[in-house]
Structure 1
Amino acid sequence: MQLDTREFRAEAKFQRVSPQKARLVLDLIKGRGVEEALNTVAFTKKAVAPLVEKVLRSALQNANYLSQEQGLDVDVDNLYVKNAIANEGPRMKRIRPAPMGRAYRYQRRLAHIVISVAERKQDGLVQTVDAEASAAAKPAKKKAPVKKAAAKKTATKKPAAKKSPAKKAAKK
């Protein structure tokens, strides 16, 4: 029997932050548990972090509310950030005065921030096995000795050794 996991989401549209800057914070929390994600966002020193935290808390409240309304059994402690994206919204075209009567055009970017949380799948068939029992069940294979091919070395000339004083005296 395959149970379909529910996904709960929250959106913040038309936010005055560029999507690129919002993605920096959203990438930090993707795939993390909700508790850990909230802690991460709380200590992130980006201007968009409080906004991301607000959207994440909203998604968490949506999960809590919908689980009560629909009679679902959702463990809030078991939720994780399944998806966190920042889509581009409409751009505001602006003009900045420039020298000699000219004008520079620039664009103020807006972002739509979407965060969805879901419950982690739990397998009820988790088995714990002792290390000794698993070692006894699987006999250890002996590794065959690996033969290394001997590399041919080129003969190097040895410098002529100095004769010791005892040999010099024996020659005379």
Structure 2
Amino acid sequence: MANIVSSATIRHLRGSAQKARLVVDLIRGKKVGEAQWILTSTKKYAAAPIKKLLNSAIANAVDKDPAVNPDELMVKTVFVDEGFRMKRVRPAPMGRAYRVQKRTCHITLQLAAITAGEE
């Protein structure tokens, strides 16, 4: 069982949690270098903020313990929670109005050190 080295959170990210989960599922359990490569080559809107979040978690790990080697870290836990919804009104025919919900989400990412048995 690997122990958690660092974590980072992004809150109120514009975009639905369902769409962000598609990107997050690609990197769960991967090594940090591989996860960065996957996020760079993914053409989803949420990939850029998640890559920025991953880099922040790596920086947190190095800042917390300078002896940590970033190449020996893996994405242990990453999950997406639903945030608040901005409710807006869109004009509709015959004087009516349609409700539009602009969704947000919260993403939490935790890194762990790779042990000999987990490679």
TM-score normalized by the length of structure 2: 0.91
| Unaligned stretches of 5+ residues in structure 2 | none
1:108 aligns with 2:102: yes
Q: How far, CA to CA, are the matches of 1:113 and 1:65 in structure 2?
A: 21
Shift of 1:17: 1.1
1:79 corresponds to which letter in structure 2?
A: L
Q: How far, CA to CA, are the matches of 2:36 and 2:6 in structure 1?
A: 16
Which of 1 and 2 has greater Rg?
Answer: 1
Q: Which residue of 1 aligns with 2:30?
A: 32
1:82 corresponds to which letter in structure 2?
A: K
- More strand by percentage: 2
Aligned residue pair count: 117
Q: Is the 8 A contact 2:16 2:104 kept in 1?
A: yes
Give RMSD over aligned pairs: 1.5
1:15 aligns with 2:9: no
TM-score normalized by the length of structure 1: 0.64
| Unaligned stretches of 5+ residues in structure 1 | 124-172
1:31 corresponds to which letter in structure 2?
A: G
Structure scoring higher RCO (CA < 8 A, sep ≥ 6) equals 2
Match of 2:46 among 45, 48, 51: 48
Q: How far, CA to CA, are the matches of 1:21 and 1:106 in structure 2?
A: 17
Shift of 1:24: 0.6
Shift of 1:40: 0.4
Deviations 1:18-68 (A, max 9, x none): 111111110000000000000000000111111110000000000110013
Give % identity. 44
